[in-house]
Chain A
């Protein structure tokens, strides 16, 4: 079961990455990299959230 503090830490990390990676690491990269990054990290977060929710049962 994911603990609440762990979920907060993961959430903050993911939100920070959603801002920093596209604007400061992938900036200027023509291609699907930014789209793929945002897609994968959001899907990963959804999976983590579902696991955390089910863990709370």
Chain B
């Protein structure tokens, strides 16, 4: 696929997506609650696709395909542990977040935490943690687009230009109408991602195994775990932060405020479940098939796992390559715009709002838009340094967010705990996560992510036992 067709695919996507985003603007009421959480007015379709498209990102089309290709079936298990964890956590906590939004008007995940622990300092600490932690994950989305465009065009589309184009799209769609433009573009993108996944898997199967069938056993040790990629320790290290993704990532938590009623909220969980399991199988099966084809000599052996999908896009027929590229872009943009929006919300509401109480509604939205722009530039700068593999960066983000786990679970499930225990858990957990990451250390052969979770939990529980609980805890326990 040459540069002209790659630019053509990008242009079509940009025009259609921007048209959808502009159309969505008429739903926006000019107040922060509506800009960030749709004022709790999303129906089942919008709420479900927005949740699914925000969750599934470049990580899937680029990272997970590559991980399945290089490491085999362990990639499926890894993603399915995330899937089961998400359903489990949503079952208990989604109704609580939704109910708190309806009763008290909360639209920021950090705001919920501040109110529960009786101090805005806790929300500010969570916000700073999210700002630092989510830059790598947002950058991953940009990297995914750039790598796919560069690979699909055989290098004709420069990485730098693709980074800029990706950021412009995400930025535009987040700024135009906040969650409304993001939600509607997510419907279009979510459908596109799933349809492309199905078509790509069917086409690759026909191409590689149409006459012979896929002999799974030829993948050898990639058909089981542990193998050369997936040790038990590595599996735990990746799955622990991913298991809690649904409560530690503010961009997905914020989606739980948006459904208009309980029926729509249940719809989010059910349709996310059906979408998620289908999409996971498609993506991992694609990676496994491509490995089978490499072994059989019908697909090039790819050494860098993030290059598997771009290599495929450069080989398949033009129409499929364009469709695949657009799907990668859709998966990435639908996540990065949600992250930018969510981080903007936290910054304005839980940092700026803590420092300056009298920000007007319109002023809040304006500052939010400026923050989105600043964050986008930061993500671009990070992506330009080509910092690492997509799966590793994604898991790093979730690992840095892990210290929130005891604070969030404790907020809803335990009567004890106040601002000291919550802030200490976030701060100590973050220090441990950063220190172990840079030291590449797994003390006592326990994965670093387990240590992060353990230290944050011990700090939280120990201090909560001696700390006076704030007033109004019952609102959160009974929500």
Contacts and interface: CB of A to CB of B under 8 A. Distances in A.
Interface string B196-236: 00000000000000000000110011011110000010011
Contacts of A19: 81, 232, 235-236, 239
Interface in B241-285: 243, 266, 269-270, 273-274, 277, 281
Contacts of B232: 19, 23
B81 A30 contact: no
Given A18-B77, A18-B80, A26-B224, A35 B273 contact: no
B15 interface: no
A35 B223 contact: yes
Interface stretch (B51-59, B82-90, B348-356, B385-393): B82-90
A38 B76 contact: yes
Interface residues of A, number: 33
A34 B87 contact: no
Interface string A39-57: 1011101100110111011
Nearest to B92: A4
Q: Is the interface of A mostly helix, strand, loop or mixed?
A: helix
B372 interface: no
Interface in A1-35: 4, 7, 11, 14-15, 18-19, 22-23, 26-35
B27 interface: no
Contacts, number: 89
Given A46-B274, A52-B91, A53-B91, A34 B81 contact: no
B73 interface: yes
Interface string B61-91: 0000000000001001100110111011001
Contacts of B217: 30-32
User: Which of B84, B216, B266 has the most chain A CB within a 10 Å cutoff?
Assistant: B84
Contact of A27 (B85, B88, B226, B270): B226
A18 B242 CA distance: 14
Contacts of B273: 46, 49-50
Nearest to A48: B87
Given A23-B226, A50-B273, A35 B76 contact: yes
A15 B85 contact: yes
A4 to B, nearest CB: 8
A7 to B, nearest CB: 7
A38 B73 contact: yes
Contact of B77 (A4, A38, A52): A38
Given A30-B217, A30-B223, A38 B274 contact: no
B73 A35 contact: yes
Nearest to A50: B270
A11 B88 contact: yes
User: Which of A11, A45, A50, A53 has the most chain B CB within a 10 Å cutoff?
Assistant: A53
Given A42-B277, A57-B266, A35 B84 contact: no
Interface of A: 4, 7, 11, 14-15, 18-19, 22-23, 26-35, 38-39, 41-43, 45-46, 49-50, 52-54, 56-57
6 contacts: A7-B91, A19-B235, A33-B223, A34-B77, A35-B223, A49-B273
